[in-house]
A and B are shown apart, each in its own frame.
Chain A
Amino acid sequence: MRMNFWTIAMAVSLAGSLCAADAPPADFDSAVKPVLSKTCAMCHNEKLSSGGLNVKLLLSPDSIATYRDGWETILDKLRAGEMPPKGIPRPPEPQMQALIHYVEGEFEKADRNIKPDPGHVTARRLNRSEYSNTIHDLLDVDFRAERDFPTDDSGYGFDNIADVLTISPVLMERYLDAAETIASRAMGADPLPKKPLEVQYHAKDKSIRRVDLGVIEASHRVEWDGDYIIRFGMPGERAADAKPVTLAFWIDGALVKTMPVETKPSKLVYFDPYSEAEVRMYLPSGDHVFRAGFIDDDFVKTLSEKDAYNKKKNKFLDSITFVGPFPSDVERASRKKILICDPKSGQACVDRILTALAHRAYRRPATRAEVASLAKFVALARSRGETTEQGVQLAIEAMLVTPQFLFRIERDPNPTDALDVHRISDIELASRLSYFLWSSMPDSELQGLAEAGKLHDPAVLDAQVKRMMADRRAAAFAANFAGQWLEIRNLDVVKPDPDKFPEWGPELRDAMKTETRLFFEYVLRENRPLSDFIDAKYTFLNARLAKFYGIPNVTGPDFRRVELTTGQRGGLLSQASVLTVSSYPTRTSVVLRGKYVLNNILGSEIPPPPPDVPALDESAVGTLMSLRQQMEKHRADPMCASCHNKMDPLGFGLENYNAIGKWRTEDGKFPVDSSGTLPNGKSFKTPDEMRALLMTGLPQFSRCLTEKMLTYALGRGLHPYDRAAVNAINRDLAASGYRFQSLIFDIVHSAPFQMGRADAPAPARVAGAAGRVPAPRGAS
């Protein structure tokens, strides 16, 4: 709802800023009234008040202020050409334009007199990925909160929204247990077993899963951080002239190792041909999914399911064995990080250690009192005859459950006065930056600049943002922002029907994820224009995905940039990941996809159908009648038409892609017809043409993306008072040619990002410059 009203708000002011000036000096009675009372009043009158609108209330100039939200909706519909609807005589275009310009102008005037309100960000609990990343950057300990903590609730489509991140007793228990585990792991207090253990997952006892022809998977809990030997058992052999294959090894979907493997008979003579490959590597403790498989193995595809596991006809994987742990130096890094001096040397050192730790854990210098109370834990341990190290470990455990660590709390110099709009401290700014771009704590450089009071200096700030975007930690931005904006995270939740889509499998799923991730990261890193998201002529593929897309000459498991030469693919809306999460398990849905495009690309939300409106019978599609016939039938009902005219065409434009994003020209026994006409009358015949049309809506897309990214960056929903800031960002963005990095810089420069106010209802605000950040206190 708000978002929607948002888009409109900006449409208005943005357009306003451009046209209001040159618009002829019109007045309400000549520019607005006639259209309202002649055209609109036919339906939007007291009796019908269609859509809950009765124009009687709008016949006075001041209604533009009193019913701003409503007026914005109206403008939106007029501009989009949705109103007046077919069948109602449309007033001459100049008259419509005059009306639009006039109202836009009025909004402009109004907005010029709004003093910026940066809003207040509630104390924000670290969510699961922020917790994991922070632990990693703080202590070099790999901890997977995603596995151990309950799911964070999300609002506005993101799971970092302060207001919905609650703490339950269950979560608190988890925090305590996690703190204990992490502290002991960080101190290397986990004793390894005296001799290594062996755990085997084998086809014969069904403890491995065959996820794909020649690909096996096992879920295994690694109990200790340490080195392990991982063995792959491969019975059988192929023909004497068989080519070697590449054995690939994945951990939790990430490819970690590939090695060549011979498949032709070994010269050795035995009845039961069998060979092994092995790797030795460090494994972080926790539940992991391990997968091994032959990749680009053409031979196996020539075999029947039965022969594929016939030792005489094929060589294949049937077991994974873990041997370990062996002592590893990897883990000890954390000890070095913590023990900056020898704790046995006395209290001074203990204090130094705790001061340094608390400083980083709390993301601000720790007070003497704080250190003192942490030091009590060392004393407590010592009093019970334990070592100082154990004491430090206990102190860390305590540190990790303090609100200072678990929450990001910003302080207002004037907690009771919501009018006291102020710049947030450099230290708070540093955390906002790092959790925005890294989903983690600031590193020492960023923290250092903040504590030196330099960070708010525009040059310094921009340099940091640039550095951070280039840093590997920025991967968290793609994973968390893009993953939620584009709903890619749901790839792990959706369950396409394996019978209808035999190609679907973990490998393909991960390839889809990787494509979108790499694509997003590329657009960010190379500062490409936002238009690339809509219609880039390139993407990132490996052999598996290229084959799925029917794109030749891409070999091997590794992803690389691939130019797109046909109209079949281009931009996000042609990526299998997006097309899969916007489908049902068994079939595509023009409604779901239309809604997806509207919500995530065009940023206009569709009201949900009332419960008593019959849903479209999409299940009959492809069998009883074509999807289009179905939809026509559906839209014949005016009840449905109002929204579906908006959604469906966008969905149809993607009908050439099946429910897992594979190109198709037929659906069931009917040819795919992917043409459509948007409410504004513009029409297209192919996905490519639709993308071209969407390109003309670039400003709308950039507004949509701005809203979503600002929401994510602030960890709160947008409010009317954010209007000025969002407008400013968009003007700048347009001026920059819609470069992606400019968007990030603009957000960082924006008032809501750099400023704050006390947590109290925002009072009416007096005149002042909109959206600009005033000079910082004490800075020239």
Chain B
Amino acid sequence: MQFPAAAKPPVGVVFDSGMARIDDVLALAMLHGFDGKDQARIAAVSISSGDLRAAQFCDVVNHFYASATTGPAAMFMHFTPIGLADAKPGAKPAAESAMFAKAAEGAAIKNFNDTADPATLIRNALTAQYDQNAAVVLSGPATDLARLLDMYGAKDWIVRKVRLLCLTETGMQADAAAAAKVLADWPTPAVTVGREIGEALPFPGGSIARDFAYASDHPIAEAYRASQAMPYDAPSWAMAAMLYAVHPGDGYFKVSGSAQRGSLVFDREQKERIIKAYIEMASAKPVPRKPRRPPEDKDKDKKNEKKDEKKPDAAK
């Protein structure tokens, strides 16, 4: 017997990015940090480019954060696949970014079919979230989300499960058509992270040597060093989006604009606090995982009724 109201787990985060900027990598690290601290759950991680190396990297990161888990839980540890956009026939294969040079070896992902179609992956991930308990973080081209919107029945799931879409202005224009579609058709509230925000809140490169040293071959640190000549600070569009998506109520940012479509407002007061949160989450140590069991629902039948109305079953 449970109390559904009280039993809702932390927000489930869908993270779709180009994995083209170190900012995306750090945001991924933050997501793992939140997950380890039970402030969020990783619902899905997908990549809007066709870069297999990037997928391999995400896979390596998964295993890195799982490394602290031992015993029965480890035997039953099981990873959600990584979403990787389909490099359309004709389109030139995406540049395999230098950041992930080391990733290829040691990754369970060997080829394209070891990854999932992002739209399908996200749709399936949403079906497993509590109503209004999911957030979508988009950094880079909106290609995958645009396809998700076109997928039969997917919109129903988005409306039902997602409470917020948080997207970064920068990188979005790579696919202008998709960007336009998502901004116009996305059915839930959406908040944009403007260029200025990421630049005003640089992630301090010094943190890499200091806070990531606990692991000799920390994949995040390696990527950071590989992506640009050290030392450098990294603008934080995706990280800002991630932070807001998980803790919208904690006053890190203000929001301007309408309830449906807003944009983050930088608040100098919060700068220290935000950077601190960046570092704490991105450099969080792997923690042992307990297998999770969804709380039983007190009035299952009611819940199912809802499901039946909204869920697109059977053939049309």
A–B proximity contact (CB within 8 A)? yes
Give A contacts to B, CB under 8 Å: 1, 4-5, 46-47, 49, 51-54, 56-57, 67, 69-70, 72-73, 607, 610-614, 637, 639
- Asked if B293 lies at the interface with its beta carbon under 8 angstroms from chain A, I say yes
A639 pairs with B6, CB closer than 8 A: no
A57's partner among B3, B73, B75 (CB-CB below 8 A) is: B3
Question: How far is A668 from B113 in the complex, measured between Cα atoms in Å?
Answer: 49
A53 pairs with B78, CB closer than 8 A: no
B2's partner among A56, A70, A611, A637 (CB-CB below 8 A) is: A70
B295 pairs with A52, CB closer than 8 A: yes
- Asked if B38 lies at the interface with its beta carbon under 8 angstroms from chain A, I say yes
- Tell me the smallest distance from the CB of A528 to a CB of chain B, in Å: 35
Question: How far is A47 from B37 in the complex, measured between Cα atoms in Å?
Answer: 10
Q: Given A614-B76, A637-B72, do A51 and B2 touch, yes or no (CB 8 Å)?
A: yes
B76 pairs with A54, CB closer than 8 A: no
- Asked if B185 lies at the interface with its beta carbon under 8 angstroms from chain A, I say no
A72 pairs with B291, CB closer than 8 A: no
A49 pairs with B291, CB closer than 8 A: no
- Asked if B296 lies at the interface with its beta carbon under 8 angstroms from chain A, I say yes
B72 pairs with A52, CB closer than 8 A: no
User: By CB atoms of chain A within 10 A, which of B5, B72, B300 has the most?
Assistant: B72
Q: Given A52-B296, A612-B291, A613-B291, do A67 and B3 touch, yes or no (CB 8 Å)?
A: yes
A52's partner among B3, B38, B73 (CB-CB below 8 A) is: B3
What residues of B have a CB within 8 angstroms of the CB of A5 in the complex? 1
Q: Which residue of A lies closest to B71 (CB)?
A: A637
What residues of B have a CB within 8 angstroms of the CB of A1 in the complex? 296, 300
- Asked if B298 lies at the interface with its beta carbon under 8 angstroms from chain A, I say yes
User: By CB atoms of chain B within 10 A, which of A52, A53, A612, A639 has the most?
Assistant: A52
B78 pairs with A612, CB closer than 8 A: yes
**Cβ proximity bits B95-135 to A, threshold 8 Å, 1 near / 0 not:** 00000000000000000000000000000000000000000
- Asked if B7 lies at the interface with its beta carbon under 8 angstroms from chain A, I say yes
Q: Given A1-B296, A612-B78, A637-B72, do A52 and B291 touch, yes or no (CB 8 Å)?
A: no
User: By CB atoms of chain A within 10 A, which of B1, B4, B76 has the most?
Assistant: B1
- Tell me the smallest distance from the CB of B74 to a CB of chain A, in Å: 10
Question: How far is A72 from B71 in the complex, measured between Cα atoms in Å?
Answer: 35
Question: How far is A108 from B227 in the complex, measured between Cα atoms in Å?
Answer: 69
Interface of B is mostly: loop
Q: How many B residues have CB within 8 A of the partner chain?
A: 22
Going nearest first, the 10 A-B pairs with the smallest beta carbon separation are A52-B7, A54-B6, A52-B295, A52-B2, A612-B291, A610-B293, A73-B1, A612-B76, A614-B72, A69-B1
Question: How far is A73 from B2 in the complex, measured between Cα atoms in Å?
Answer: 9
B72 pairs with A57, CB closer than 8 A: no
A54's partner among B3, B72, B75 (CB-CB below 8 A) is: B3
Q: Which residue of B lies closest to A44 (CB)?
A: B6
B1 pairs with A72, CB closer than 8 A: yes
A613's partner among B72, B295, B298 (CB-CB below 8 A) is: B72
A56 pairs with B290, CB closer than 8 A: no
Q: Given A5-B1, A72-B1, do A57 and B6 touch, yes or no (CB 8 Å)?
A: yes
Question: How far is A70 from B2 in the complex, measured between Cα atoms in Å?
Answer: 6
B5 pairs with A57, CB closer than 8 A: yes
A49's partner among B7, B292, B298 (CB-CB below 8 A) is: B7
Question: How far is A310 from B109 in the complex, measured between Cα atoms in Å?
Answer: 68
What residues of A have a CB within 8 angstroms of the CB of B3 in the complex? 49, 52-54, 57, 67, 70
What residues of B have a CB within 8 angstroms of the CB of A637 in the complex? 71-72
- Tell me the smallest distance from the CB of B220 to a CB of chain A, in Å: 26
Q: Given A53-B2, A53-B6, do A70 and B298 touch, yes or no (CB 8 Å)?
A: yes
Question: How far is A756 from B214 in the complex, measured between Cα atoms in Å?
Answer: 70
A70's partner among B1, B38, B72, B292 (CB-CB below 8 A) is: B1
B5 pairs with A607, CB closer than 8 A: no
Question: How far is A49 from B9 in the complex, measured between Cα atoms in Å?
Answer: 9
Question: How far is A391 from B205 in the complex, measured between Cα atoms in Å?
Answer: 98
What residues of A have a CB within 8 angstroms of the CB of B5 in the complex? 57
What residues of B have a CB within 8 angstroms of the CB of A73 in the complex? 1
What residues of A have a CB within 8 angstroms of the CB of B295 in the complex? 52
A-B contact pairs, 23 of them (CB 8 A): A4-B1, A46-B6, A49-B6, A51-B2, A52-B6, A52-B7, A52-B295, A52-B296, A53-B7, A54-B3, A54-B7, A57-B5, A67-B3, A70-B2, A70-B298, A72-B1, A73-B1, A612-B73, A612-B76, A612-B291, A614-B72, A614-B75, A639-B72
Question: How far is A614 from B38 in the complex, measured between Cα atoms in Å?
Answer: 23
- Tell me the smallest distance from the CB of A507 to a CB of chain B, in Å: 44
